[in-house]
Amino acid sequence: VCLTVVLGQQGAWLQAMAQAVAYYVQAHGEFLEMGMDGCAAQVLQEGLDAYPASAELRKLAGLPEPIDTLEGDSLAQIEGGCARVTRSPSRLVELLPMEVSGEQFWPEVRSRSLHAMLLERGGLMRITSAFPNEVAEVALQTLQSEAGWNLSTSETVDYGTNEGIQHTYYSYLGSGVDDIKKRLHTLAPELFPGFQAARYEKSSLIAPHDDSQLFHIQISDENRSQRFPAGTVMYRKIACIYYLTKDWREEYGGSLMDLHDQDCPRHLVPTFNTIVCFLVPRVHEVQELAEGCPPRHSIFGWFSDEVPYLPLSKHGAEFSTMVARQTK
């Protein structure tokens, strides 16, 4: 299988891959230590689905090493933007469907956790009819009538030394959609939330990246708390996008492209009153919006905690701001 390296530069993609594989290995070990063998098997299967040639993951699963691999010395075998891998047909556990209705989702997430539900679905899930329809209608009308939008581009969004990221959209940080933000916070109340409203117009896009980033909680952040006080260093762990645009068409662009499994990318067209959540890091992009398309409204953000990513010295630099910030 010839895989196109979607990140534009091979080195950045390989760094993101190494960090992601290390995440699966660490999560697998932690679940085993807690006696949660089922979850350990699920996270290992997720890793194998995304990185079937990983010698480290295959060893944990008791699978033979692949003939061709993207690890160690074999990284030098990448030529012409393609790499050869071997996919194993075996599965350790059967993952649950990616899509779930809001009616099914809310009782389950309140009794368990968003992180656990994501692991069972391969790290990504889509929640349809997420909130009562009248709530979504009010939120959309609010965003359509608001005047306090500010242009946000790759020059104003801090991506550290990563010049490969392009991100262009209009941001709204006002209080008009605070009700929706509070509802989104209940997805993972044990984590630190950070959300904003966004409006994408023609030519708006987000280039491929994996969302991993560290930041400090600011004294002005209204979400700071006794557990997460100002000054705490935080790490993004779960990304969420709440779509608030009606009758969106694929030809408009603006779709979320899930690039986590490089030989089987997923194309997620925005759907009104739908939430998409995924574990971070996960490589993805937002397609450029076409000329003449209507504005695309959403509320997006991340849930974070204070647990660091795996050491950069051991696993390589994440495709994020981590290198720039940790070396200052």
- Check residues 204 and 2 and name the one with the higher pLDDT: 204
pLDDT at 239 over 90: yes
Q: Is the pLDDT of residue 280 over 70?
A: yes
Hey, how many other C-beta atoms are within 10 angstroms of the C-beta on 74?
Answer: 17
The pTM of this model reads: 0.69
**pLDDT at site 125:** 96
Q: What is the mean pLDDT of the chain?
A: 78
Note the pLDDT tens digit of each residue in 69-110.
333 333 333 222 323 233 333 444 567 899 999 999 999 999
The set of residues, in sequence order, having a beta carbon less than 8 Å from that of 58 and lying 6+ positions away, is 48, 52, 64, 65, 66, 88
Cα–Cα distance, 196 to 176 (Å, whole number)? 11
- pLDDT score of 26 more than 90: no
Query: 39: Cβ–Cβ under 8 A, 6 or more apart, which residues?
Result: 31, 116, 119
Q: Is the pLDDT of residue 230 over 90?
A: yes
Residues whose CB falls within 8 Å of the CB of residue 130, separated by 6 or more in sequence, listed in order: 102, 105, 136, 242, 273, 274, 275
pLDDT at 5: 36
Coil/strand/helix, residue 53? coil
Given a cut of 50, whether residue 51 has pLDDT beyond it is yes
